[in-house]
Structure formats: C-alpha cells, structure tokens
Amino acid sequence: MNGSENKRPAGIGTGYLSIMMIFVVLCMTMLAALSYSAASAEKGFSLKSGEYTAEYYAADLEANRTLAEIDGIAAEYSDYADLSFISEIEEMEGMELKQLPDSIEISWLTPINDRQSISSSVRYSGGGYVITEWRTVLTSDTESKPLNVWSGE
C-alpha cells in the first residue's frame, strides 16, 4: 500500500468554511436579536415613562383647577364655618369635608390613571388656605391581590 495516497491534503478541507459560516451567522443573529429586543424594550419603557409624566401633570392641572374652584367659593365668604359655604363645597363632586375646632379641611382625589391619583387636602382658617396634602396615592387594590401562582398542592 502506498503511504502517499492516504495523506490528507494540506489547508482547509471541504466543509470547514460552511461550519464556520454557520457559527458566525448564528452568533451575529443572536446578537442582533438581543440588541433589537433590548432597544425595543427600552423604547417601550421610555414611551410609558413619557406617558406617565404627561398624565401626572394633566392630573396636577385638574387638581389645581379644583383648588381654584374651591378657593373661588371661599373668596365669597369671610367665615369658613358658614353653613352655606359648607353646603356649596359638599355639592362639588368627590369632596370630603372635615370640620376642625378652628378650621375646615377639604380633601379630594384627582385620578392620574386607573391605578393612581393625586390626593389633595387644603385647610381653611383665618385669612386663607394651607395645602396640607398634595401627593400621589394608589387607588387600585392591585398590591393587596395575591399572585396567581401554584401553591404546591
């Protein structure tokens, strides 16, 4: 048997290029898919964040509008314990009144979205009002709901 006939040829053999190409293309495809999904998720997050900012300030404007309405009524009265003032405020939708010994506290909620609201409170005494609360609160009970997961039974 002649040994020189069994010698493998030097250099790259048939098939190696295909394998290398498949590997490189697979790697590039995975990187491209990962980068696209990351960029897409980032854009979704930015859109939601921007949407929330717009919703928050629109709700803040509405809360200020309600405050202006309340203050417009209050401007006509010198005594905040006046029953007409109280009844006028009570006629406004969503108002909560709390009568304190020397003042009156009015609270209301302005929805930001279906989960959150701006909770506002003003206290009238003497010559005008003091804002006692102006903060974002959760209005839905999503936090108290248990997660729908298998309990192991």
Partner 1 sequence: MKSPIAKVRKHIRSNLFFVEMIIVLLFFSIASAVILRSFAASDRLAKESRRIESMAFLAQSAAEIYSGTADISETAEKLLSGKPYTYNEYPDGSQEISFSMDTETTVRLRESSEIYAGGPLKILEISFSDGSGGILYETKTGAYFPERTVTDSERQ
Site string for partner 1, 132-151 (x = CB under 8 A): xxxx----------------
Indicate whether 78 belongs to the interface with partner 1 (CB under 8 A).
Answer: no
Phi, psi angles (nearest 5°) of residue 84:
-65, -40
Residue number, 102 or 153, with CB nearest to partner 1: 102
Binding to partner 1 by CB under 8 A, coded x per residue (else -) over 104-133, reads ----------------------xxxxxxxx
CB 138 within 8 A of CB 116: yes
Query: Tokens in use for 133?
Result: 């609360």
Among 1, 6, 9, 152, which residue interacts with partner 1 (rule: CB under 8 A)? 9
75 near 68, Cβ under 8 Å?
Answer: no
Name which of 117, 127, 118, 124 is nearest 102 in CA terms: 124
Interface with partner 1 (CB under 8 A), residue from 1, 5, 91, 143: 5
- The site that binds partner 1 (CB under 8 A) totals a number of residues, namely 54
Q: What angle do CA 87, 91, 95 make, to 5 degrees?
A: 100
Q: Tell me the one-letter amino acid at 100.
A: L
Per the structure block, which two tokens stand in for 41? 């998720």
Smallest gap from residue 151 Cβ to partner 1 (A)? 39
| Per CB under 8 A, 72 contacts partner 1 | yes
Phi/psi at 59 (5° precision): -70, -40
- Closer by beta carbon to partner 1, 109 or else 146: 109
Is residue 131 a contact partner of residue 120, using CB atoms and an 8 Å limit? yes
Q: Which residues bind partner 1 (CB under 8 A)?
A: 5, 9, 12-15, 17-18, 21, 24-25, 28-29, 32-33, 35-36, 38-40, 42-43, 45-47, 49-50, 53-54, 57-58, 60-61, 64-65, 67-69, 71-76, 126-135
